[in-house]
Copies of this chain bind each other. A is one copy, B any other.
Amino acid sequence: MAGATRELTVDLGERSYPILIGTGLLASAGSLFAERGFPVKAPILLVTDASVEERYAPTVERSLREAGYTVSRAVVASGESSKSLAVFDDLITAALEAGLDRKSTVIALGGGVVGDLAGFVAASYMRGVRFVQMPTTILAHDSSVGGKVAVNHRLAKNIIGAFYQPEFVLYDMDTLQSLPIREVRAGLSEVIKHGLIWNESFVQWCDDNAAKMLALDPDTLGYALYEGCKVKAAVVSKDERENDLRAILNLGHTIGHALEAVAGYGQLLHGEAIAIGMVGSARLAARFGYDPKISAETERIFRKFGLPVRIPSGIDPDAVMKAMQHDKKFTEGNMVFVVPTSLGSVEIRSDVPAAWVREIVEQLREENGEA
């Protein structure tokens, strides 16, 4: 598996950083650290999860050690439940025991869970140490870029966190080969989202290259991840702290988050939930008078990728509506939604009648049979 390494920059002034996407990259971790002036004296903490650890941690550690670094490994359980204050506390203990100092680095080697969790450790340990992302899922092309890090609280997801940018993102696509196919699909859902909010021709390209993307063809996938990261980076560069523009990244997420919460975390994957959510947003677009083709095409493309476009039976529409009201995006009768205006651009609307949302949630129920 060869091919050129693609590189792009997240442009944030002094805090700008590169994203490297390619194959065989984990083995070059040590030389990258050395080139970029990470001090050899400062111990490194590699945070990873139980599904990733054995396959990929040794390569990174060997490479770092060969370059003279000291590295300790902290392994958390796989899955969303590790994004908790309790596991965060364990990682602070691990950092202390590994002797991390203010010049140290925390590496996140894993999917979005490890990235968000280890990122919050990096942001908080000694009020902030260096941070490097090594994403190992497709979804993490999204989560590893942009600096949102967080853990969950019993009552709310991602409610405890920081904006904390990594110093670089090292995206070794070889790791994606071991991903379960359902995770592949769910990750591609966010790739397509990046097209839908920003880049019509990329949506077209995804539509044309669905089979190769799903087969993880390295060059096709490399391009897809590069384009996905490019949209994310462009948006984040313009609005790091989500004062306005960055909110467009939430396309499909209002309904999506509610579905995840109601289904019970882990039942619906995040990427699956937001695929359904994006179909919902496209239907809202139609209600606002935009071309109904947006909705039909959105649905067709997600089906092509094997992603769900209907709310699983057993999920109660009332519970979904209620979950959205807990979401920050709700205000008095009207709701705030990212709504597509074409297959490649969106607008943020704060005048979405809750009644329309309710109707669409009803329509999208699997048992309504219109699928």
User: Which chain A residues have a beta carbon within 8 Å of chain B's beta carbons?
Assistant: 85, 88-89, 92-93, 96-97, 101-102, 123-128, 148, 150, 153-156, 159-163, 241, 328
For A96, the chain B residues whose CB sits under 8 A away are: 153, 155-156, 159
What are 7 of the A-B contact pairs (CB < 8 Å)? A85-B85, A93-B155, A96-B156, A124-B161, A127-B162, A127-B163, A128-B241
Q: Which of B89, B102, B123, B163 contacts A85 (CB 8 A)?
A: B89
For A101, the chain B residues whose CB sits under 8 A away are: 328
Shortest distance from the beta carbon of A85 to any chain B beta carbon, whole Å: 5
Q: How many copies does the complex hold?
A: 2
In the assembled complex, the Cα of A363 lies from the Cα of B328 at a distance in Å of 60
For A161, the chain B residues whose CB sits under 8 A away are: 124, 126-127
For A97, the chain B residues whose CB sits under 8 A away are: 155
For A93, the chain B residues whose CB sits under 8 A away are: 153-155
Q: Which of B85, B162, B328 contacts A162 (CB 8 A)?
A: B162
For A124, the chain B residues whose CB sits under 8 A away are: 124, 160-162
Least CB separation from A84: chain B residue: B89
Shortest distance from the beta carbon of A165 to any chain B beta carbon, whole Å: 13
In the assembled complex, the Cα of A241 lies from the Cα of B154 at a distance in Å of 32
Shortest distance from the beta carbon of A91 to any chain B beta carbon, whole Å: 10
For A160, the chain B residues whose CB sits under 8 A away are: 92, 124-125
Judging by beta carbons under 8 Å apart, are B159 and A126 in contact? yes
In the assembled complex, the Cα of A162 lies from the Cα of B161 at a distance in Å of 11
Assuming A93-B153, A162-B123, is B102 touching A328 (CB within 8 A)?
Answer: yes
Judging by beta carbons under 8 Å apart, are A125 and B328 in contact? no
For A126, the chain B residues whose CB sits under 8 A away are: 159, 161, 328
Shortest distance from the beta carbon of A81 to any chain B beta carbon, whole Å: 16
Shortest distance from the beta carbon of A106 to any chain B beta carbon, whole Å: 13
Least CB separation from A161: chain B residue: B127
